[in-house]
Amino acid sequence: MPKGEKKKVVVIGVGFGGLQAIKKLSKEEDLEIIAIDKKNHHLFQPLLYQVATAVLSPADIAIPTRSLIGDKKNVTVYLGEVEKVDIQAKKVFFQGHSEDYDYLILAAGAKSGYFGNDHWKKYSIGLKSLKDALSIRTKILTSFEQAELAGDPEVAKKHLNYVIIGGGPTGVELAGSIAELSHEIVRNEFHTIDPALAKITLIEASPRLLAAFAPKLSEFAKMRLEKRGVEVLTGTKVLEIDQNGVKIEGRTIPSSTVIWAAGVQANSIGASLGAPTDRMGRVMVDEFCNVEGHPEVFVIGDIANYSKGLEKPLPGVSPVAMQQGRYVASLIRGDLKSKKRKPFHYLDKGSMATIGRQDAVAQVGNFRLRGFFGWFVWLFIHIFYQVGFKNKISIFITWVWSYITFRAEARLIQDEIESNSVGSSTPN
């Protein structure tokens, strides 16, 4: 490369993968980096459920993107949504602007996917963003208030029915946290109703919860959730979601609070590449995380289907995205020095999910933890990987206070209640 000539790298999405790539590439003076994201913050998604259940505040798990990378001299940050990528012309189009690139890193993530039943979105809430988490928090907290004023026991009962669809880590963590909130934390704060009578139902279509975990850990999670009062329905398919609740074979579960944690769909921007995609919309990539025939285009994280030499694609979890982000950054830096590329290899550092206070499951290979020790490791890992020192301290203090007092202090309903909206016989 001629002296003084800089290569331009455009990174779409500053999530786990995009952030890791930018941090590593920013050390290379011969690169100009353009970061584009439709959100102005980096989000620590594994703790979204704690915002949804009023344990943490949004600022505890989100940091402004510019405060993370804006001070790096060779990084320019744009807030905007990418509408199209012209892979032939090497151009990215967003917010009425366009950027040329020498390298493209697409790390745009995923959204909730409904397996072709998009009409279910109207009656349920996914959990992929801060907006989703705050919507769930408002829905749950308002449901207590609606039940308190309902006057009709059957209407109150419907308000206090919570259905979570999807028995992966997100579904399990939500079910346990909602049970703790309703059965313990707010139990003595209402006098017309007993929040402990709230019914939490967790529905999973496959034969067991936490399918990626060892069967014994799945069974442990199920047992612990049931001990907390959660009804766990495995091997159960959802037939319909409407204004009345969730229909499964043989019955309808009445609920005005339905949370969708069953599936994801890759960000639609991946389709604009013109490359093959799987049924979830993920872009098929080769052993270098490249779109076939385009060594300058990398796709990583939830939006990528990496399955080269594997029995099944790598899961859409943060460790995969982070390792891929660092990997593609090292390839680009290697290209500048004319180094031969080596295929990506994922180092599986294990999986974990918390069930509630003093209860979690974790596994790394054949090494497994459950109960209190699993929970302690879960706490440590999530503090360790949280971005930003202030956030680490804030979360740690909040968790300690919550553990000692058994309280959740982020129980704020942001919207004002309108006349007749609380206590109405027709839940919102």
pLDDT, position 424:
45
Token reading at 157 = 């009962």
* Cβ count within 10 A of residue 266: 25
Q: What CA–CA distance (Å, rounded) separates 348 from 113?
A: 25
Low-confidence ranges of the chain (pLDDT < 50): 1, 423-428
pLDDT, position 420:
61
Is 240 catalytic? The answer is no
Q: Please report where in the chains the tokens 């801060």 appear, as a residue.
A: 130
Which residue is catalytic, options 32, 148, 173, 180? 173
Q: Please report where in the chains the tokens 């798990």 appear, as a residue.
A: 61
pLDDT, position 387:
87
Token reading at 286 = 């080769």
Beta carbons within 8 Å of 111's beta carbon, 6+ residues apart: 126, 128, 264, 265, 267
Token reading at 227 = 């001990």
pLDDT, position 426:
39
Cβ neighbourhood burial of 330 (10 Å; 0-12, 13-18, 19+): middle
Beta carbons within 8 Å of 55's beta carbon, 6+ residues apart: 177, 398, 399, 402, 408, 410
Q: What is the pTM of this model?
A: 0.91
83 neighbors 96 (Cβ within 8 angstroms): no
Q: How far is CA 227 from CA 145, 179, 231, 283, in A?
A: 26, 10, 9, 41
Residues 399, 321, 325: CA angle, nearest 5 degrees: 120
